[in-house]
Amino acid sequence: MRICKVIGHVWATKKQDSLNGQKLMVVRETETASEENQVFVAADMVGAGVGEEVLVVTGSTARRAAGNESIPVDSAIVGIIDSMEVMKEKKNRK
Amino acid sequence: MRICKVIGHVWATKKQDSLNGQKLMVVRETETASEENQVFVAADMVGAGVGEEVLVVTGSTARRAAGNESIPVDSAIVGIIDSMEVMKEKKNRK
Amino acid sequence: MRICKVIGHVWATKKQDSLNGQKLMVVRETETASEENQVFVAADMVGAGVGEEVLVVTGSTARRAAGNESIPVDSAIVGIIDSMEVMKEKKNRK
Amino acid sequence: MRICKVIGHVWATKKQDSLNGQKLMVVRETETASEENQVFVAADMVGAGVGEEVLVVTGSTARRAAGNESIPVDSAIVGIIDSMEVMKEKKNRK
Amino acid sequence: MRICKVIGHVWATKKQDSLNGQKLMVVRETETASEENQVFVAADMVGAGVGEEVLVVTGSTARRAAGNESIPVDSAIVGIIDSMEVMKEKKNRK
């Protein structure tokens, strides 16, 4: 799963019927080391709010998360992160 | 889903038969922070026009969006964006 | 689909039996803004020639294009581009 | 598979029910040449600990690793690396 | 398929049972224009040796190559490259 922050909402009136009822949120991947954190749209499955850190699944797994293979989503929020504990690493050390 | 802008059309006379009838549009991903926004081709499912911002699904989800598993598309436009509301963030703040 | 140019051929005598008969071509993605256009190998489904611009599908969709789920291809050429019409955009304008 | 190092844990109380019982670990891809090693979350299938180098599968294969297609994971730790033997290469030599 | 060079072996005693018997090799993608060629692990299906250039499939296609959907591999070597013939291109010419 990708570690993302929910940063907003998106609205689309004209869309595939099977997307009706899906809550579409704008998320930004936070844990890449680069400045090029990617912003994309994920369907919310867990009642996430703007500002929260979440776990996002992509690809065919997102359709499984949506519980219906015919819903055309390829990204889904499946958990809200309470806490993360990450070991300290020296830069460039493997 | 990726947030893209429709920037054009592409025509291919010689193609797999199962692609007949698909409207193929050139889209550019707009919401990556880098300059390297990616340009690719997506099949339009919602009547999108050039200049519009759209939601694009990729991978096996695109075939679901096309409604027929045998259509060889791996990117599909599934919604036209009306509006987006994104929280303000300070740069480099997580 | 990715927009690619066919730049060559690749031969592999020792390969999985199910790849026999597949015409494997070297393609380069042309429409990314970066210098890091990716070169990879795609199975040709439409009789493409070196120098032509083509539409390439990847992932599980490539197996659908090959018409046989057991053929181990993850990239396939599904169309030859006749023409592309792309709107003019100012740099950095969304 | 990607070569990753386990660098921590992540907790999410509010999550999809089917994720209950999954041990979610934070991993960092170690073997890309760039500085932009990616950090993401993978479900642990083999009892991996923080600091260990592991093999991670992604995409639909992660669900197979989880042994249940309905578990919404798209990354899974499937092995703990004992050792790696890599040939010496001159930089920029192909 | 990606064009890779086999650069080594990896051993993992503690792994998912279904990985037993798979020969896991370290490969490096050679044909990206960037310096950031990616190093990852692929299951060998064709008897490839260190130093050889190979064709690697990824994603669900790797499981098809392995001939058993339940084997948790997402990258597989499916051919050994004998030769490649690539047209000369001027830099930055499309």
Could you state, in order of their start, the residue ranges of all structural domains in chain B? Answer: 2-12+21-80
pLDDT at D56 over 80: yes
Mean pLDDT of chain B: 90
Q: Do the Cβ atoms of B9 and C47 come within 8 Å?
A: no
Touching subunits of D (3+ CB pairs, under 8 Å) are: A, E
Least confident of B44-48, C7-11, C88-92, D3-7: C88-92
H or E segment to which residue E71 belongs: none
DSSP A93: -
* Structure-model confidence comparison of residues B51 and C38, the more confident one: B51
B81 touches chain C (CB under 8 A): no
Q: Do the Cβ atoms of D59 and E74 come within 8 Å?
A: yes
E68 touches chain D (CB under 8 A): no
Mean pLDDT, residues D62-75: 94
User: Which pLDDT tens digit goes with each residue over B38-83?
Assistant: 899 999 999 999 999 999 999 999 999 999 989 999 999 999 999 9
Taking the CB of residue E3, how many other CB atoms lie within 10 A of it? 21
Instruction: Determine the Cα–Cα distance for residues B66 and B44; give it in Å rounded to an integer.
Output: 9
* Structure-model confidence comparison of residues C48 and C90, the more confident one: C48
pLDDT at residue number B35? 55
pLDDT at residue number D31? 76
A39 phi and psi, to 5 degrees? -105, 130
Mean pLDDT, residues C4-29: 96
pLDDT at residue number E94? 40
pLDDT at residue number C32? 61
pLDDT at E25 over 50: yes
Q: Do the Cβ atoms of E3 and C39 come within 8 Å?
A: yes
* Class of the CATH domain delimited by C2-11+22-80: mainly beta
| DSSP 3-state percent helix, strand, coil across chain B (nearest 5) | 10, 45, 45
Q: Which residues of E touch D30 (CB under 8 A)?
A: none
Q: Which residues of D touch E35 (CB under 8 A)?
A: 33-34, 92
- Closest Cα in chain E to D75: E74
Tokens representing residue A5 in the block: 């922050």
Touching subunits of A (3+ CB pairs, under 8 Å) are: B, D
Band of the pLDDT at E31, cuts 50, 70, 90? confident
Q: Do the Cβ atoms of B60 and C65 come within 8 Å?
A: no
Domain B2-12+21-80 falls under CATH 3.90.1490.10: no
Band of the pLDDT at B93, cuts 50, 70, 90? very low
pLDDT at residue number C31? 76
Instruction: Determine the Cα–Cα distance for residues B28 and E93; give it in Å rounded to an integer.
Output: 20
User: Which pLDDT tens digit goes with each residue over E63-75?
Assistant: 999 999 899 999 9
pLDDT at residue number C29? 92
Residues 6+ apart with CB under 8 A from D41: A1, A2, A3, A55, D10, D24, D25, D26, D27, D75
Q: C86 has which bridge partners? A: B8
pLDDT at residue number D34? 57
Q: Which residues of E touch C3 (CB under 8 A)?
A: none
Q: Do the Cβ atoms of A57 and D72 come within 8 Å?
A: yes
Considering the domain delimited by E2-13+20-80, tell me its CATH architecture.
Answer: Beta Barrel (2.40)
List chain A residues with pLDDT less than 70. Answer: 32-37, 89-94
Mean pLDDT, residues D40-50: 97
Residues 6+ apart with CB under 8 A from A65: A43, A45, A57, A76, A78, D16, D72
Q: Which residues of A touch D12 (CB under 8 A)?
A: 55, 79-82
Band of the pLDDT at E32, cuts 50, 70, 90? low
pLDDT at D90 over 90: no
User: Which pLDDT tens digit goes with each residue over C47-84?
Assistant: 999 999 999 999 999 999 999 989 999 999 999 999 99
Instruction: Determine the Cα–Cα distance for residues B75 and B57; give it in Å rounded to an integer.
Output: 6
Residues 6+ apart with CB under 8 A from B61: A59, A60, A62, A63, A72, A73, A74, B76
Band of the pLDDT at E90, cuts 50, 70, 90? low
Q: Do the Cβ atoms of C16 and E78 come within 8 Å?
A: yes
* Of the ranges B78-92, D76-90, E26-40, the best mean pLDDT one: D76-90
For the domain bounded by D2-80, which CATH number is listed?
2.40.50.220
C86 Cα to chain E: minimum distance (Å):
15
Q: Do the Cβ atoms of D39 and A3 come within 8 Å?
A: yes
pLDDT at D94 over 50: no
Identify whether the C-beta of residue A60 lies closer than 8 Å to the C-beta of residue D60.
Answer: yes
Mean pLDDT, residues B18-42: 85
